[in-house]
Amino acid sequence: MQRLHFYIDGAWVDPAVPARLGVVNPATEAVFAEISLGTAADLDRAVAAARRAFPAYAETSVAQRLEWLDRIIAGFRARLPELARTMTLEMGAPITFATERQATVALFHFEEARRVLQDYAFEERMGAGIVRREPIGVCGLITPWNWPLNQVASKVAPALATGCTVVLKPSEIAPLSALLFAEVVHAAGLPPGVFNLVNGDGPTVGEAIAAHPGIDMVSFTGSTAAGIRVAKLAADTVKRVAQELGGKSANIILEDADLRAAVIQGVHACNTNGGQNCQSPTRMLVPRGRREEAFAAAREAIGAIRLGDPLDHATTMGPLVSQAQSDRVQGFIQSGIEEGATLVAGGPGRPAELNQGFYVRPTVFGDVTPAMRIAREEIFGPVLAILPYDTDEEAIAIANDTPFGLAGFVQCRDRARGRAVANRIRAGRVYLNGAPFDRSLPFGGYKQSGNGREFGVFGFEEYLEVKAILGAEA
């Protein structure tokens, strides 16, 4: 499979300088596709196209933008099975998960952007003037490999809905689903230059997006270290920077919770998508006196996970995305052993029944202390740390003792008690008792987990400037 072109100014074009990169299937470790890697020259061309398109696109009517969104939604639905299978091949998500979550949640973002746009008041009377919200301009979007289409959609959908033009750089590790998505956008008939896609790596195309004077806003999802680099590069042009970065979310299981059910639910949440989630509840806080009960429930949950071929519908966990990611996670597992944590389930090495692929055994450590690496650093793999606590106050203190603040989780029977704990967790989103995903509520972090918000009206308004007009007629 060769996908060597970029999408610029409404057409598929050759890169300025030929340079190819193989895309590896993490389940087989074989290269199954090739893409081109872009340069600053390719980005310049895309930004120029987006700048030319912006003035006219910004003035399009809400009705016209709704029509284009409807076409994208229809095209996305029609190609959803193909999009899901492509993500399975490029990043290893089991096909059922890729279909029901990876692709479907990405579609949700376009449906949500459409919902917000339909009734959004771009102007409102305030005091003696009018407050007007206008599209910010050309948006550079840099997206990760772990949720390849979800993160693309969570940025592209509100950008297009608000009247912005876009230059997208998907992850070069899992780029193919974004290229298929570009075909959906092309078929929807947006004006040339409104949506552009350039593949490339972070140090070349990603950094060029952050620094480019022709880009008005950069939205980045990835590691905290890379986010810091993006922010520094963007500072010289004082562009808006929205970031969704790392996490080390705490899952506080209160004394009154159904402990077995809460632990099983928490283990599975930690292992969703192979643990490659920024908001995974990777620190489980359990009452000290219920240690053995928690360990037994964790082993039970791990025993229900089925590793294997991600194209097999019986598989519930596939491989990690790459050899580098697998090596990183194995290093954390080894550090947990060396620092004296109790190995409750899993452990180092590839599962014995699998002789190829970047597979990691889903692993649980107990008796973890807050100072251990596995309790402090984002692992981004199927590794859970269980930490003991004695009081609610101690649990909250442990939960907040982190540079991150993306999400938190609380399990309890007394909802008032759970809400009181949730209010004190320093994170952008808190889930009570396994509450389901809601695409309309804001998503984003405190502290080093980022700034800005995605999803719903909060994500929509990230792409708008605010203008006050004084002396205007009502």
Taking the mean position of all CA atoms in its chain, how far away is CA 387? Answer: 26
Name the active-site residue from 90, 172, 207, 244: 244
Task: Please name which of 474, 444, 439 lies closest in space to residue 457, comparing C-alpha atoms.
Answer: 439
DSSP category for residue 435: P
The count of C-alpha atoms lying within 13 angstroms of the C-alpha of 6, restricted to the half-sphere facing its C-beta, is 34
CA distances from 79 to 2, 84, 97, 160, 195 (A): 19, 9, 16, 20, 19
Taking the mean position of all CA atoms in its chain, how far away is CA 193? Answer: 25
* 278 belongs to the catalytic site: yes
Per DSSP bridges, beta strands 165-169 and 138-142 are parallel
CA 88 to CA 107: how far, in whole Å?
A: 17
Could you write out the DSSP letters of every residue in 315-374?
A: -SB---S-HHHHHHHHHHHHHHHHTT-EEEE--SS--TT--SSS----EEEES--TTSHH
Residue 385's beta-bridge partner residues? 283, 365
Name the active-site residue from 139, 164, 270, 278: 278
DSSP category for residue 55: H
Could you list the beta-strand ranges (E) of 170-276: 195-197, 217-221, 240-244, 250-253
Q: Look-up: residue for tokens 């209160």? A: 254
End-to-end Cα, the chain, rounded Å: 58
Q: Rounded to a whole number, what is the largest CA-CA distance in the chain? A: 74
Catalytic residues: 244, 278
